[in-house]
Structure 1
Amino acid sequence: MVNIPKVKLGIAAVSRDCFPAEISKERRQKVVKACELQNIQIVEVQTIVENEADVLKALDEIKNADVNALVVYLGNFGPEGPETLLAKKFDGPSMFVAAAEETENNLIDGRGDAYCGMLNASYNLGLRKLNPYIPEYPVGTSDEIAGMIGDFENIARVIVGVSKLKLIGFGPRPQDFLACNAPIKPLYDLGVEIMENSELDLYESFQQHKDDSRIPSIVKEMEQELGDGNGYPGILPTLAQYELTLKDWAENNKGASEYIVFANKCWPAFQRQFGFVPCYVNSRLASIGMPVACETDIYGALSEYIITCATKLPATILDINNTVPKDMYENNKDKFNDYKLNDLFMGFHCGNTPSTCMKNFAMKYQLIMHRLLEPSKEPDISRGTLEGVIRPGDITFFRIQGTADCNLKCYIASGEIIDVDPKSFGGIGIFAIKEMARFYRYVLIAKRYPHHGGVAFKHAGKVLFEAMKMLGVQDIAFNQPPSMLYKDENPFK
């Protein structure tokens, strides 16, 4: 992954001056040791923060160590003013956790009262209008705190990535896909930079990459990746030319940002002018952490990127596309386990899912575009998809979306892909999400979400939920169990 942040964690212990600072120091050292045992790298800030002067000394240490995600550790009660000032002056995401008492044999001189201090810390964080990560139960032993820090590392990667992201778009949204259109103002609120361009800009740059000396090496990479699935080798040099066009555009237009994602117009004029469909190239860029969302879906691109940061794995974007036929369900009941028919749907897109996320794959042509643009002809300008069955396993469907009134909302739904042949075309799989029918009605429809959803290839709901809270997203929907009614859900049905 070349397009996501490397998180460098630091831990700073704090101490209230009427408590022995040695308690915080010793407990901090134990947390650092526990992190090492859990393969979590963390910088140990030596300054114990007791007052504002210590805050400045600690910040110097943190800056010199290039720490970009900070754990504020209450080894004892802690000084609520300095500890929250430390978080305020630190330029990055922070986390607050507190030490549990260690033994019944040391509750006089060795009692830290961090359980109490965490309450005061939270109150002072509110006064400063800070929004750090505070775990579900933020008090624990050194081993437990290390586990919480492991979660924070993934959450912090999302926050840092979004804060240094530029989203580049080419072309307006297709007329018949206005569902993907949304105001960009909330992206600025997140700190995401936006660069919108004409398709002519992209086409001009593409033409300038004709006969680029790097094309043969990219073609070789593609041949190795596709193997026996290289159904249309003649299109590879053109696809390589396009891949280089996007990579160079990203590098040349980072500006003050560090990370790039794309949201590109991809049909129907694209095929007529460029001479191919871009799906396979989109899949390859997603595999290195630079998602390219279809149909100029800017929030789809952001969703994919957030997923990639949260998991350190490639993501994809799919249509929540079609139902599973009843006979397919009946014929494969042993594989669907206790899922109901309406818990299932097919996730599909033309061919943009990375090959590492596919059970099988091959270079093909886009059937729908072929029907539209070159019926009764051998595929030519419709070539360029990566098609096959998406591999079975755990998934999380996720989307962040801007609303018409310029607020942010998102949904998170964990499930799995079932190992059943969808018997269809494109990049496709059969998805199972508990209570999907209700989620479909009372979240996707009721909250006006578009058909595109980002797919994480693991259960990542915990990290995504906390990251969305830190980013200030107020409306976080999920697939609720039957015992929990959605807003406006009929209780008498």
Structure 2
Amino acid sequence: MKIGILPLGRPTFDVPFAEEKLAAMLAALDATGHEIVGQRGLLFDEDATRKAMSGLQAAAVDQVLVLQVTFTDASMTALAASSFDQPLSIWAVPEPRLGGRLRLNAFCGLNLASHALGLNGRAFSWLYADPSGEITADLTALLAGDRLAGRLDAKPVSGTSADGARVAAALRGRRIARIGEHPVGFDTCAYDAQHLNALTGVSVDTLRLDDLFNAAKEVSQEAADAVREAAEGDVAGLGDVDQEELDRSLRLKAGLDDLRKRGGYDAFAIRCWPETFTQYGGAVCGPAAMLGEGKVPCACEADVFGALTQLVLLEAAQAPVFLTDLVDMDAGDDTGVVWHCGQAPISMRDQEAEATATVHTNRKQPLLYQFPLKPGPVTFVRISQAFGSARMVLSHGEMLRRPMAFTGTSGVVRFDRPAAAVLGDIVACGLEHHMALAYGDHRQTLRATAAELGLPLLEI
């Protein structure tokens, strides 16, 4: 066959490492005996990707293979899906869990792409595997179309309970503030406010990022000092980061507190990047961790359904909630890694590890919290809009005591089912890239909540 490749990447990740991975992917592809055509360097932007697609169209390829070398949003994969009638495949690469920065985050790119393709009803094949491993059989199957994602749907659920009724009743009248719009290519964060309100009774107010930035700038020094004192009680090393950037970050926490009081908000969905870094000059990750510990959920990337999911789990668990990415699945180790920049509530820290202040791995600004998650049973849930309809996706596992997999706040989890099976289900069910996590087993209450809300349920 003539295989047309689109190697996608972002320059904010570890480009030299990405280039190493891409070289290994190309070597493996060349070894298949198929004709490999297209750009053999990373495509970092829309113009370059569109030009590469035009080249593949002119070459009349038999199949389009997206090489998900680093994280990217889903916009270019969705464009490829609509531009070619030929079979579409995605190959994403894992990276070692070395305790340093998340250098590629390619799994998250696969996650966003699978959701977007599911919304568009586009069939695709996929592979998540290291090109330097035993790749021949999996790669052959991928190119032969034997690794189709399929479609995994939720099922109606019955069986209400007092706990389920309590959670559903507690949602009614809650208010989410969406601050800024979700980034382009993040279909996982799209929402319809009327539909959300009809489903749960939760309303959404839309604010501008400037509303937050102005509120932060107007914070008194006394209020900023109080936030710093609270942060010093959580993490060590505040003095080791840029102090002006730290002050701006801490003022975001006080600014969010002010907006919450004025608007009566119960949760936030915030467009956290790039503007908090490029326009304002400080990270909102640490403030989100502090608010989360105070049981005020904050969803990044303006993910309103992520904020809603946190409210549901917060009420079910009666404990702080962490909105997290799943960034790796290792079938050999039978574990996955959950991670977000540095915004897990401090009560989730492994007591055998120190919590420290750090900077965003890509943007290099504070404040982020850094620690491994504590061991114990954990429940995962998402009020999902996969395939264009609302459902609840539920999972459970055990957080293990392991060294920190990646900088920020991360944890290694062993699901109740084999990691390979969970991975396949995540792709097949079109799941969004954010799931809410709380410690304990809250599945019974959440099943009853799904029944109360009329949500189909899928357990993975």
Do structure 1's residue 262 and structure 2's residue 271 form an aligned pair? no
**Quick one: structure 1 residues 342 and 223, their matched pair in 2 at CA, closer, same or farther if it must change by over 3 Å?**
closer
Where does 1:379-398 land on structure 2 (aligned, <5 Å)?
382-398=365-381
The equivalent of 2:384 in structure 1 is 401
**Cα distance in 1, alignment partners of residues 397 and 329 from structure 2:** 16
The equivalent of 1:377 in structure 2 is none
**Cα distance in 1, alignment partners of residues 436 and 386 from structure 2:** 17
Match of residue 253, structure 1, among 253, 256, 263: 263
Q: Contact 2:326/2:433 (CA < 8 Å) preserved in 1?
A: yes
Do structure 1's residue 202 and structure 2's residue 183 form an aligned pair? no
SS in 1 for 2:429: coil
**Cα distance in 2, alignment partners of residues 156 and 471 from structure 1:** 9
What one-letter code is carried by the residue in structure 1 that aligns with 2:399?
I
Give 1:456 deviation, angstroms.
1.1
**Quick one: structure 1 residues 423 and 415, their matched pair in 2 at CA, closer, same or farther if it must change by over 3 Å?**
closer
Where does 1:28-39 land on structure 2 (aligned, <5 Å)?
none
What one-letter code is carried by the residue in structure 2 that aligns with 1:439?
V
Match of residue 162, structure 1, among 168, 171, 177: 171
Give 1:418 deviation, angstroms.
1.2
The equivalent of 2:186 in structure 1 is 177
What one-letter code is carried by the residue in structure 1 that aligns with 2:260?
A
The equivalent of 1:295 in structure 2 is 301
Where does 1:443-454 land on structure 2 (aligned, <5 Å)?
444-454=426-436
Q: Give the structure, 1 or 2, with the largest relative contact order (CA under 8 Å, sep 6 or more).
A: 2
Match of residue 463, structure 1, among 442, 445, 448: 445
Where does 1:26-105 land on structure 2 (aligned, <5 Å)?
none
**Cα distance in 2, alignment partners of residues 188 and 385 from structure 1:** 32
SS in 1 for 2:235: helix
SS in 2 for 1:323: strand
SS in 2 for 1:453: strand
Match of residue 315, structure 1, among 314, 317, 321: 321
The equivalent of 2:53 in structure 1 is none
Q: Contact 2:236/2:357 (CA < 8 Å) preserved in 1?
A: no
What one-letter code is carried by the residue in structure 1 that aligns with 2:188?
A
Q: Contact 1:182/1:404 (CA < 8 Å) preserved in 2?
A: no
What one-letter code is carried by the residue in structure 1 that aligns with 2:321?
A
- TM-score, with normalisation over the residues of structure 2? 0.61
Give 1:134 deviation, angstroms.
4.2
SS in 2 for 1:296: coil
Give 1:205 deviation, angstroms.
2.2
SS in 1 for 2:370: strand
Give 1:200 deviation, angstroms.
2.1
SS in 2 for 1:214: helix
Give 1:274 deviation, angstroms.
1.7
**Cα distance in 2, alignment partners of residues 188 and 436 from structure 1:** 35
Deviations 1:81-140 (A, max 9, x none): xxxxxxxxxxxxxxxxxxxxxxxxxxxxxxxxxxxxxxxxxxxxxxxxxx99645xxxxx
**Cα distance in 2, alignment partners of residues 418 and 231 from structure 1:** 30
What one-letter code is carried by the residue in structure 2 that aligns with 1:471?
L
Match of residue 366, structure 1, among 360, 381, 385: 360
The equivalent of 2:403 in structure 1 is 421
Q: Contact 1:349/1:426 (CA < 8 Å) preserved in 2?
A: yes
SS in 1 for 2:251: helix
SS in 1 for 2:323: strand
The equivalent of 1:345 in structure 2 is 336
Give 1:429 deviation, angstroms.
0.9
- TM-score, with normalisation over the residues of structure 1? 0.57
**Quick one: structure 1 residues 176 and 450, their matched pair in 2 at CA, closer, same or farther if it must change by over 3 Å?**
same
Q: Contact 2:329/2:419 (CA < 8 Å) preserved in 1?
A: no
**Cα distance in 1, alignment partners of residues 267 and 454 from structure 2:** 21
Give 1:237 deviation, angstroms.
3.3
Deviations 1:292-350 (A, max 9, x none): 101111111111121111111111011111134xxxxxxxxxxxxxxx63741111110
The equivalent of 2:457 in structure 1 is 476
The equivalent of 2:291 in structure 1 is 285
Give 1:283 deviation, angstroms.
0.5
The equivalent of 2:310 in structure 1 is 304
**Cα distance in 1, alignment partners of residues 166 and 282 from structure 2:** 35
**Cα distance in 2, alignment partners of residues 233 and 354 from structure 1:** 23
Structure 1 stretches of 4+ with a deviation exceeding 6 A read none
SS in 2 for 1:299: helix
SS in 2 for 1:366: coil
Deviations 1:16-50 (A, max 9, x none): xxxxxxxxxxxxxxxxxxxxxxxxxxxxxxxxxxx
**Quick one: structure 1 residues 270 and 218, their matched pair in 2 at CA, closer, same or farther if it must change by over 3 Å?**
closer
Q: Contact 2:382/2:392 (CA < 8 Å) preserved in 1?
A: yes
SS in 2 for 1:289: coil
The equivalent of 1:225 in structure 2 is 234
**Quick one: structure 1 residues 321 and 199, their matched pair in 2 at CA, closer, same or farther if it must change by over 3 Å?**
same
What one-letter code is carried by the residue in structure 1 that aligns with 2:209?
E
Q: Which has the larger radius of gyration?
A: 1
The equivalent of 1:78 in structure 2 is none
SS in 1 for 2:204: strand
Q: Contact 1:230/1:362 (CA < 8 Å) preserved in 2?
A: no
Give 1:399 deviation, angstroms.
0.4
Q: Contact 1:161/1:309 (CA < 8 Å) preserved in 2?
A: yes
SS in 2 for 1:454: strand
Equivalenced residues, count? 298
**Quick one: structure 1 residues 186 and 206, their matched pair in 2 at CA, closer, same or farther if it must change by over 3 Å?**
same
